[in-house]
Amino acid sequence: MEFTKPVLAYAEIWPLIAVLGVACLGVLAEALLARPHRHRAQVLLAGTGLVAALVGTVVVGTRLDEVADGAARGVIGGAGSVVVDGPTVFLWALVLVFSLMGLALFAERKVEAGVSVFAGQAAALPGSDAERQAQGLDHTEVYPLMMFAIGGMMLFPASGDLLTMFVALEVLSLPLYLLSGLARRRRLLSQEAALKYFLLGAFSSGFFLYGMALVYGYAGTLDLGGIDLAIRNGSGNTGMLTIGLGLLLVGLLFKVGAVPFHSWTPDVYQGAPTAVTGFMAACTKIAAFGALLRLLYVGFGADRWTWQPVLGVIAVLTMLVGALLAVVQTDVKRMLGYSAVAHTGFLLTGVLGAQAAGDLAVGQVTSLQAVLFYLATYSFATLGAFAVVTLVRDASGEATGLDRWAGLGKRSPLVAGAFAFFLLSMAGIPLTAGFAGKWAVFTVAMSAGAWPVVLVAITSSVIAIFFYVRTIQVMFFSDVAEGTEPAAVSVPSMLTSGTIAVAVLGTLVLGVVPGPLLELAADAGQFIR
């Protein structure tokens, strides 16, 4: 094995450092600034940090050195623990773009009449005097928390060893547990969601840690490249390896919300403040799939025959359960939660399409390329959809019951139209981004011979279409039932309307001309080891 000098590669990992640094500055600002200035300062700080990191990511991306005869580009920094390669840069860019859109939703104050959508004082008991006194307050800590989460999301898919991956997992999860519990309205539901998320998340982290220990026992190293080498050499107790891999997968599949580790998804999606749900639905999925891909392709690529069948079964279950349970939902946020589960299944279908480079024709879509592209298409639609949910309100806050949305298309055709467009994209109707994404992941799975999974994926798509179409039908062709107060659309500030506009534009552009982004994903090349 070639000796590698411990390089930190600050020049490549600085976007990550910038995000974490801004998070620390945010904590300082919280301590030093007077309350009235905090909101503006925090939003400005977080926004600047994200934009700087995004610019940095693009710069880093254009300067990566080629390795392995041009098949991949990148550098292993952070003394072996942070890998900045093509896919990492691509995922960083995605996380940052959608974080910026999420930040806009966090900062929206107009729909709640001048205060943020987060609880005035999270520690106040729901229904108590303390809560009423905190009505006009804001929790501006949400911005540093968000930045920490984003830092973890960036580190997660860039981890070069299992320990870093675990730390990143915790760094991204803990702020999210907190954020989930901070809703201003329906606080009990929100706190319940946070607790569920935390408990189940803690368990899954435990699984991950246990798996890590077993894999260490097999390979004698936590380094992903080292694990790969150990598997290729084929020594040691493969039972330990298989169980270890299984436990690692439990931890990661929990984060992406795959069946049977999905049960938190609808509850948390429903209970968390909708801005957090949108941010989390898009960015966590990107980060967790990035980590999953790196773990499976780099660390366990040689052990493909072990995990592919398991993942196939999980993909099938995830798609079917997600789609079927979404059909019976009467709450828009829960429906979107189950739809997120179904989309995890579609993404896993793409992961199954892993093939040796030699088996592919020149210019054929690769599995990594397909999954990266799908993540982008799905995130635009899901973030946009949740942004619309924040706007449909009545006197007591967001009205998420589907019956309340009846006739929305007649009262607010633009907002309902945007929502319908996102749903059509999730359903995979041509000329929307979702179609190109679906096509890509199904194609790579089919090329790799996983046609039974593709058939199930198609079946689930048919089922999924039913509930997407039903929602559109309720919005455009139904009248409000007697005794139900119809929800109205609050006029948001530029922040939310801008987010929705960007999401619509992204969904449309990626649907009509998906070529450039697919090329970018192809240029990202392979993971480096």
Partner 1 sequence: MSDFPWLSVLVALPLVGAFVVPSLRGTTAKQVGLGFSLATLVLSVLVAAQYELDGGMQLTETYEWIPAFGVHFALGVDGLGLLMVLLTTLLVPIVLLAAWREDEVDNPAHVDGNPQGKAHVFVAWALALEALSLAVFLATDVFLFYIVFEATLIPAYFLVGGFGRVGRSAAAVKFLMFQLAGGLVLLVGVIGLYVVSAQAGSPSYLLSDLMALDIDTTAGRWLFATFFIAFAVKAPLFPVHTWLADTTGRATPGTSVLLVCVLDKIGTFGMLRFCLGIFPEASQWATPLVVTLALISIVYGAFVAIGQDDVLRLIGLTSLSHFGFIVLGIFVFSSQGGTGSILYMVNHGLGTAALFLVAGYVIARRGTASIRELGGQEKVTPVIAALLLIGGLATLGLPGLSPFISEFLVIIAAFDYAWYVGAVAVTGIVLAAIYVLWMYQRTMTGPTPERATADEDLSLREGIAVAPLVVALVFLGFYPAPLLDAADPYVGDLMSHVGVTDDPPEVTAPAADHAGDEHAEEGEH
- Site residues (CB under 8 A) for partner 1? 360-365, 369, 424, 427, 429-431, 435-436, 438-440, 442-443, 446-447, 454-455, 458, 461-462, 465-466, 469-470, 473, 476-478, 513-515, 518-519, 522
Q: Angle formed by the axes of helices 187-219 and 238-256, to 10°?
A: 160
Q: How near is the Cβ of 74 to partner 1 at its closest, in Å? A: 22
**Sheet architecture: strand order including 392-394:** 397-398, 392-394, 488-489
Q: Select 241 or 406, whichever has its Cβ closest to partner 1.
A: 406
Task: Indicate the residue among 278 and 345 with the shorter CB distance to partner 1.
Answer: 345
Nearer to partner 1, 206 or 449 (CB): 449
Report, in Å, the least distance between residue 461 CB and partner 1.
Answer: 5
- Per-residue tokens: 316: 């099938």
Closest CB to partner 1 among 282 and 433?
433
User: What is d(CA 368, CA 527) in angstroms, rounded to the nearest whole number?
Assistant: 9
Measured between alpha carbons, how far is residue 452 from residues 293, 396, 439, 455 in Å?
21, 47, 16, 5
Q: What is the DSSP letter of 125?
A: P
Nearer to partner 1, 455 or 494 (CB): 455
Nearer to partner 1, 206 or 430 (CB): 430
Is 489 exposed, middle or buried, given 0-12, 13-18 or 19+ CB atoms closer than 10 A? middle
Is residue 355 classed exposed, middle or buried when 0-12, 13-18 and 19+ CB atoms within 10 A define those classes?
Answer: middle
Q: How far is the CB of 472 from partner 1 (least distance, A)?
A: 8
As measured in angstroms, the least distance from the Cβ of 326 to partner 1 is 15
Q: What angle do CA 198, 199, 205 make, to 5 degrees?
A: 85
Which residue, 471 or 490, has its beta carbon nearer to partner 1?
471
Instruction: Give 286 or 521: the residue with its C-beta nearer to partner 1.
Output: 521
Residue 108: DSSP 8-state: -
Between 145 and 427, whose beta carbon lies closer to partner 1? 427
Alpha-carbon span 270 to 268, nearest angstrom? 5
In 3-state terms, what secondary structure has residue 84? strand
Identify the sign of the CA torsion 264, 267, 268, 269. Answer: positive
Minimum distance, C-beta of residue 491 to partner 1, in the bound complex (Å): 22
> 360 in the Ramachandran plot: left (φ > 0), alpha (ψ -120 to 50) or beta?
beta
- Smallest gap from Cβ 438 to partner 1, in A, equals 8
Which pair of structure tokens corresponds to residue 308? 């592919």
Q: Given the complex with partner 1, which of 291 and 424 has the nearer CB atom?
A: 424
CB nearer partner 1, residue 78 or residue 514: 514
- State in angstroms the smallest separation of the CB of 469 from partner 1: 6
Q: Compare residues 284 and 447 and give the one whose CB is closer to partner 1.
A: 447
> In this structure, which amino acid lies at residue 276?
V
Q: How far apart are CA 165 and CA 152, in angstroms?
A: 9
Least distance CB 319 / partner 1 (angstroms): 13
Q: From CA 526, how far away is CA 186, in angstroms rounded?
A: 45
Query: Which pair of tokens denotes residue 255?
Result: 């984060």
Q: Minimum CB separation from partner 1 for residue 360, in Å?
A: 8
- For partner 1, which is the closer residue by CB, 203 or 439? 439
Q: How far is the CB of 454 from partner 1 (least distance, A)?
A: 7
> Are 318 and 345 spatial neighbours (Cβ–Cβ below 8 Å)?
yes
User: What is the C-alpha to C-alpha distance for residues 328 and 421, in angstroms, rounded to an integer?
Assistant: 21
Question: How close are the terminal C-alpha atoms of the chain, in Å?
Answer: 12
Q: How far is the CB of 458 from partner 1 (least distance, A)?
A: 5
Least CB distance to partner 1 at residue 355 (A) = 11
Any long-range contacts for 483-487 (C-beta under 8 Å, 24+ apart)?
484/403, 484/404, 484/406, 485/394, 485/404, 486/404, 486/406, 486/407, 486/408, 486/411, 487/392, 487/393, 487/394, 487/399, 487/404, 487/405, 487/408
Q: Name the residue nearer to partner 1 (CB basis): 127 or 413.
A: 413
Provide Rg for the chain, Cα atoms.
Answer: 22
User: Closest approach of Cβ 523 to partner 1, in Å?
Assistant: 11
Distance in Å, CB of 169 to partner 1, minimum = 32
* Pairing mode of beta strands 66-67, 392-394: unpaired
CA distances, 412 to each of 331, 388, 406, 467, 506 (Å):
20, 11, 11, 21, 22
